[in-house]
Chains A and B, each alone.
Chain A
Amino acid sequence: MNVNEAINRLKAIQPTTNACVTIIEDDVKTHEGVLSDVPIALKDNVITKGILTTGGSKLLSNYIPPYNATIVDKLKQAGGVIVAKTSLDELGMGGTGTASFNGPVRNPFDLTRQAGGSSSGSAVVVAAGAVDIAIGSDTGDSVRKPASYVGVVGTKPTYGRISRYGIIPYASSLDHVGYFTRDVRLAALMCDVLSGQDKMDHTSLPYPSTTIAPSLQDNVKGKVYGVFKEVLEAIDHPQTLKHFDAVCRALESKGAIIKTISMNETLLRTCLPTYYIIANCEATANHSNLTGVNFGLTQEGADVETIMTNTRTHGFGPLIRKRFVIGSYGLKDENQDKLFRKAQKVRRLIVEEFNRMLNECDGLIAPATTSIAPLLEGANMNVLSNAHLIAENYMVLSNFSGAPSITVPIMPVDGLPHGINLTCKIEDESTMFQLALAIETCVKEGL
């Protein structure tokens, strides 16, 4: 795939999928490296100097940043060429791809369906064959879930492995840079390219780049795959369960050990509410800079306060405004103890439990989603069902703990893409890519 082919393909799929905010035709290779002349798409919350970066929000629909995210410099140094800024749910908040200021993103395999979110456009451009690599971000499951819905590999390395400097945040303690690739080998290579301590990100891990790709193998003899019991129990789609089981059997035939691992169900069921409190509280503070004073789509007003109020009222979608209200409420002095601080305590308990589970295996696996991508119109979910509370949202566990996690596509369900999620111990991307490669190999070999 060369740059021109990528641009042509991006233009061709745009009318149907609406995957891109900006298609970039004039970026050129500035360095030679492992990604020389490789076209790359960036989620539009990745800051690009001199190139429109909207974060999927109307408020930033005119924002041309004065600097580059650290990962943009890394991609350029590796020889990459940026060809697109892709659509996302506004400010990364949402899991449907329908909450962007520039309209919904559609699943290339079935245009009546979602591509998932919030890294919707990046998932789609890889799935549609326009690029081999697209950057996303993952706060709850925003890379790993869309990857499952469109049938590509979605990776989120350990918290701090990839610099967040220049990524428009959602919730700082949960935000990870992630990315989509066609296969696991390229995913490992991208970890090597993007990782490494960044002096601009105080939360980045104190290590240089990883070097996993050159020696990556799919030998999993004796490796223990832990099957996430409660997630499997919360899924009632027979084909999802059947395919998952088939992958487990194939891994066993390669010498891997399959072991059931259970999580305290009370803790598991508190994941989603805990996530929403922490994420919304952090988000409301993180986005207090979007006032129209220095940048953004400024609205008129008699004084500064009115300008700020008008800019925010006009610039944010209803979903975002709702989340900010919840976040502010959770941080209020009289509520912090029973909401934000309590959520942080629960998070610690959840992380302890999750780490215990990861210590009992080499990698924890489960279907990434209960079934295929939901319809764009009329999708109806029972928000208190186990399917929703557990099976559709358990992937947030690795955002809580920072553990590396990857979604690998397996066999289609009802004729549409579907994937398995694998999570490994913190900082152990090396094992993660090895176990993921074995899954990919099993699927390629027809099990």
Chain B
Amino acid sequence: MKRDVVIGIEIHCELKTNSKMFSASRNSINDTPNIHVNEIDLGHPGVLPTLNKRAVELTLRACMLTQCEIDSLIKFDRKNYYYSDLPKGFQITQQFHPIGKNGVIEIEVDQQKKQVRLDRIHMEEDTAKQYHLEDETYIDYNRAGVPLIEIVSKPDMSSAKEAKEYVSTLRNMLIFADVTDGKMEEGSLRCDINISLKEAGSVQFGTKVEIKNLNSLNNIEKAIEAEILRQNQLLDAGEKVLMQTRRYDETLKTTVAMRSKESAVDYRYFPEPNLRPIQLEQAWIDSIQASLPKTPQQWLEHLIELGATVIEANILINNKSLLDFFIEASKEVKDVRLALNWTITEVTSLVNIMQEKLFEMVSSHHFALFLNCISDKVISGKQAKDVLKWMSESGKDAQTLVNEHGLVMVSDDLALLNWIDEAIKENPQSILDFKQGKDRAVGF
């Protein structure tokens, strides 16, 4: 039987703030465990929350980029449940009045454009991170209280490809707006996929399965494909799909059940009494709108203006660090086209080897000076490859390395001719060979 696939996605995304959502502790989850922790993060008796303004600003950016309606009266609620990663015994979230509603983003799959609607964007706080060892559980509270937004789509996607493209497009938008670092493998952007099958054309939805903890774009695609297959096989065999939470097992290449979702949990939501509702000023909202960083689409247009091809522009847009590196350098270089060529080819291949480390070793300023050495014919294109490699190994600038290695490119024609005469005199046999038609001699 032909069936339609219905997919909705919830994304949890950690915000790039300096401090936590409701406390002044640093937001830095990858440091030594439990060093960014205060009495508020640990849920000690008597503590009260205060709201991080920057987190609201970044959330507003996310709302604006996805064309959400903004509720300028900020209210929070408590979601009550007991778990060892939730020290207060409740999470502060926005259940009843999400800051953003009814958004939409456009994605493109197989040259087809498609609108995916967003149900809501709301602010909340992350839980602590737990590490389960054999008999013991360790808790890292660095993550407790980290600002989080939840972005909930409508069930508008109908294939694994669309789902992957949705997450990828949204993730890129948020990374470009500096809302998040979007590192899925580190959990700063996490996806829960809701997926069900229904008879083709039917209005009756099938039973929904949630797939949790997907840590890469590729796994989203693989997990959904595997889950569609699994549900189709069940339905073909006349069996029922159970309402479950599942996870994707990379070795088994299928989804496996984590827990049943039959009994809905009652979180006893109620308005957070320790945070008064906050009315955002329209002028502040407008100023955030006015200063929104460029979107990937806007960057694409900008790069094409700078002389990049569409392919080149897309390579840069898919790596924000590389794009930033190029854009900074392009402000100082004499030849932007040259900068593009070197960024797309040599820098990209170094990034493939060194990842982000490259940008630590080679600043965009050094890269610009290096490119200008080529433009000024201080070094030849052939030498330049080596120089860039040395730069990436040593962190030194091009001129220093040229001096250290005794490289010179002579641009004085007379001196050059003299050197050629000397070379010919000293290699008579080569000249003879060349005249007799042996090409090998040219490269001696």
Chain A residues with a Cβ under 8 A of chain B? 45, 47, 53, 55, 60, 63, 65-67, 69, 164-169, 171-173, 199-203, 281-282, 284-285, 287-291, 293-295, 304-305, 308, 328, 331-333, 336, 340
Contacts and interface: CB of A to CB of B under 8 A. Distances in A.
B48 A285 contact: no
Interface stretch (B79-87, B117-125, B302-310): B79-87
Contacts of A169: 45-46
Given A66-B39, A285-B268, A294-B87, A47 B46 contact: yes
B419 interface: no
Contacts of A336: 268, 270
A79 to B, nearest CB: 24
Nearest to A329: B268
Given A285-B90, A288-B90, A305-B82, A67 B44 contact: yes
A288 B80 contact: yes
A200 B47 CA distance: 9
B46 A202 contact: no
A25 B42 CA distance: 30
A202 B48 CA distance: 8
Nearest to A331: B268
Instruction: State the majority secondary structure of interface residues on A.
Output: loop
A200 B87 contact: no
B131 to A, nearest CB: 14
Contacts of A295: 42, 44
A159 B36 CA distance: 32
A99 B270 CA distance: 28
B276 interface: yes
A24 B87 CA distance: 30
Contacts of A171: 273
A168 B45 contact: yes
A289 B45 contact: yes
A411 B237 CA distance: 87
Contact of A202 (B49, B78, B266): B49
21 contacts: A47-B46, A67-B38, A167-B46, A168-B45, A172-B273, A172-B274, A200-B50, A203-B48, A282-B273, A285-B80, A288-B82, A288-B89, A288-B90, A289-B45, A289-B89, A293-B84, A294-B87, A304-B84, A305-B82, A308-B82, A333-B268
Contacts of A203: 48, 273-276
Contacts of A60: 45
A291 B44 contact: no
Instruction: State the majority secondary structure of interface residues on B.
Output: loop
Interface residues of B, number: 29
Interface in B405-419: none
A182 to B, nearest CB: 28
Given A200-B48, A308-B82, 5 more contacts: A164-B48, A168-B45, A281-B270, A285-B90, A331-B270
Given A290-B45, A332-B268, A202 B275 contact: yes
CB-based closest 5 A-B pairs: A288-B89, A331-B268, A172-B273, A289-B43, A173-B273
Contacts of B42: 294-295
Given A293-B84, A294-B43, A165 B268 contact: no
B137 interface: yes
B87 A332 contact: no
A199 B87 contact: no
A172 B38 CA distance: 21
B332 to A, nearest CB: 43
B35 interface: no
B50 A202 contact: yes
A445 B132 CA distance: 72
B51 interface: yes
A173 B274 CA distance: 7
Interface in B77-125: 78, 80, 82-84, 87-90
Contact of B266 (A69, A201, A332): A332
Given A285-B270, A293-B87, A336-B270, A331 B80 contact: yes
Given A67-B39, A289-B88, A289-B89, A165 B46 contact: yes
Nearest to A164: B48
A328 B78 CA distance: 13
Contacts of A281: 270
B123 to A, nearest CB: 15
A423 B315 CA distance: 70
Contacts of A304: 83-84, 137
A19 to B, nearest CB: 22
A172 B274 CA distance: 6
Contact of A333 (B39, B44, B78, B266): B266
A258 B266 CA distance: 52
A168 B270 contact: no
Interface string B52-84: 000000000000000000000000001010111
Contacts of B78: 285
A69 B270 CA distance: 26
Contacts of B48: 164-165, 200-203
A55 B42 CA distance: 18
A185 to B, nearest CB: 30
Nearest to A309: B82
A281 B266 CA distance: 14
Contacts of B49: 202
A67 B42 CA distance: 12
Nearest to A305: B82
Contacts of A168: 45-46
Contacts of B270: 281, 285, 331, 336, 340
B385 to A, nearest CB: 56
Nearest to B265: A333
Given A165-B46, A173-B273, A289 B87 contact: yes
A284 B80 CA distance: 10
Nearest to B80: A285
Interface in B355-397: none
A164 B275 CA distance: 12
A291 B83 CA distance: 10
Contacts of A293: 84, 87
Given A66-B44, A201-B48, A291 B39 contact: no
Contacts of A172: 273-274
A401 to B, nearest CB: 15
Nearest to B141: A294
A7 B213 CA distance: 58
A55 B273 contact: no
Q: Which of B45, B50, B51, B82 has the most CB of A within 10 A?
A: B45
Contacts of A202: 48-51, 274-276
Nearest to B50: A202
Nearest to A341: B270
Contacts of B268: 285, 328, 331-333, 336
Nearest to A333: B266
Contacts of A291: 82, 89
A166 B46 contact: yes
B33 to A, nearest CB: 14
Contacts of B276: 202-203
Contacts of B88: 288-289
Contacts of A69: 46
A67 B40 CA distance: 10
Contact of A55 (B39, B45, B80, B274): B45
